[in-house]
Amino acid sequence: MKEKFDIIQSTCIPIQIDNCNTDLIIPARYLASTTRDPQFFGDAFMHDLRFDADGNPVKDFVMNKPEYAEAPRKGVHEIIVGGQNWGSGSSREHAAWAIAGYGVRVVISSSFADIHRNNLLNCFVLPVIVSKEFQQELFNSIADNSQTEVKVDVPNQTVTNLATGHSEHFDINSYKKYCLMNAYDDIDFLLSNKEKIEAFEKKEEAAPESPETPESPETPQASASLYVEASNEAPAEESAEEVAPIEVTAKESEPFVPKKLLPINRGLAKFFLLSLITLGIYGIVVLAQISSEINTVATRYDGRKTTNYLWVFFLWGWLTGGIAYLVWSHKISNRIGNELQRRQIPYSFGASDYWLWCVLGSCVGFLPLVYTHKLLNAMNQLNADYNQKG
Q: What are the pLDDT digits (tens) for 233-247?
A: 444 444 444 444 434
Between the alpha carbon of residue 362 and those of residues 61, 90, 273, 329, the distances in Å are 31, 47, 19, 15
Q: 364: pLDDT confidence band, cut at 50, 70 and 90?
A: confident
- Cα(175)–Cα(230) distance, integer angstroms: 10
Tens digits of residue pLDDT in 33-63:
778 788 999 999 999 999 998 899 999 999 9
What's the confidence (pLDDT) of residue 118?
93
- Cα(320)–Cα(333) distance, integer angstroms: 20
What's the confidence (pLDDT) of residue 112?
95
Tens digits of residue pLDDT in 80-90:
999 999 999 88
* H or E stretch covering 310: helix 309-311
Q: Mean pLDDT for the chain?
A: 85
252, pLDDT greater than 50: no
CATH 3.20.19.10 location in the chain? 7-182
What's the confidence (pLDDT) of residue 241?
44
332 φ/ψ angles, rounded to the nearest 5 degrees: -70, -35
Q: 254: pLDDT confidence band, cut at 50, 70 and 90?
A: very low
7-182 placed in CATH 3.40.640.10: no
Q: 253: pLDDT confidence band, cut at 50, 70 and 90?
A: very low
**Average pLDDT of 221-250?**
41
Q: 362: pLDDT confidence band, cut at 50, 70 and 90?
A: confident
**Average pLDDT of 337-341?**
90
* Among 12, 2, 243, 7, residue whose Cα is nearest residue 108: 12
pTM over 0.85: no
What's the confidence (pLDDT) of residue 356?
86
What's the confidence (pLDDT) of residue 329?
92
- Cα(376)–Cα(390) distance, integer angstroms: 19
What's the confidence (pLDDT) of residue 212?
52
Position with higher pLDDT, 238 vs 323: 323
Position with higher pLDDT, 357 vs 161: 161
303, pLDDT greater than 90: no
Complete DSSP assignment for 9-64: EEEEEEE--TT-BHHHHS-GGGGG-----HHHHHHHTTHHHHB-TTS-B-TTSGGG
